[in-house]
């Protein structure tokens, strides 16, 4: 049983001049995260090519009462004044991406299945130990007013503009949820 990021014997010479960034018990295998190399030293290094980290201001409701964690997936919606004067009805089917209320406000799906990279400055996903600590119904000690999401380069400007002209709503979803990303409603 070997982790993907373990340093193998044949690769050891590549890392010989590197330094450990944390203590490793004698006899334990070395992992790439244990070693100070050019990769993995900075938050930006976790971004795949073609992706950007975008920080969004949120509130308690938008953070699902601070239960959103790094590694979670959300659907990103825009809420604002409908630029189209024609009323838009929610349609059934996979192309349903917007709705309008009677007061001219509209909601549109900007991007489905967005990865949360950080909540505030916390980049650690929730682990089993943390879940066990909170099992006693203790309120979360960490509050945050921003989340950082991973988005494709082409979508970043659109999301920034959407936040300026309206508000954004994050809808938490199960990462294994295979249902369509666009809500369905009968008309």
Q: What is the pLDDT of residues 6-40, one digit of tens each?
A: 888 888 877 777 777 778 888 888 887 787 654 44
Residues of the chain under the 70 pLDDT cut = 1, 36-41, 63, 83-102, 126-142, 180-187
3-state secondary structure of 110: strand
Scored b (16 or more CB within 10 A) or e, 175-186 reads eeeeeeebeeee
* Per-residue confidence (pLDDT) for residue 101, from 0 to 100: 58
70: tokens are: 């790094």
CB-CB contact of 159 with 109 (8 Å): no
Strand partners for 73 = 115, 173
17: tokens are: 């001049």
* Per-residue confidence (pLDDT) for residue 110, from 0 to 100: 93
CB-CB contact of 119 with 70 (8 Å): yes
* Per-residue confidence (pLDDT) for residue 152, from 0 to 100: 97
* Per-residue confidence (pLDDT) for residue 156, from 0 to 100: 96
């Amino acid at each position: 049983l070997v982790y993907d990021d373990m340093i193998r014997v044949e690769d050891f010479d590549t890392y010989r001049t590197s330094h450990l960034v944390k203590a490793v018990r004698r006899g334990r295998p070395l992992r790439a995260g244990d070693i100070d190399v050019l990769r993995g030293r900075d938050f930006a290094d976790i971004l795949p090519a073609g992706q950007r980290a975008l920080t969004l201001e949120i509130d308690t409701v938008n953070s699902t009462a601070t239960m959103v964690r790094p590694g979670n997936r959300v659907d990103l919606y825009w809420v604002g004044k409908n630029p189209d004067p024609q009323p838009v009805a929610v349609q059934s089917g996979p192309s349903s991406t917007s709705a309008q209320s009677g007061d001219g406000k509209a909601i549109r799906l900007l991007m489905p299945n967005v990865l949360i990279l950080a909540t505030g400055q916390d980049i650690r996903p929730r682990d089993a130990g943390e879940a066990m600590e909170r099992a006693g119904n203790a309120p979360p000690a960490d509050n945050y007013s921003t989340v950082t999401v991973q988005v494709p380069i082409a979508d970043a400007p659109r999301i920034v503009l959407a936040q300026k002209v309206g508000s954004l709503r994050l809808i938490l979803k199960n990462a294994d949820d295979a249902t369509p990303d666009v809500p369905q409603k009968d008309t």
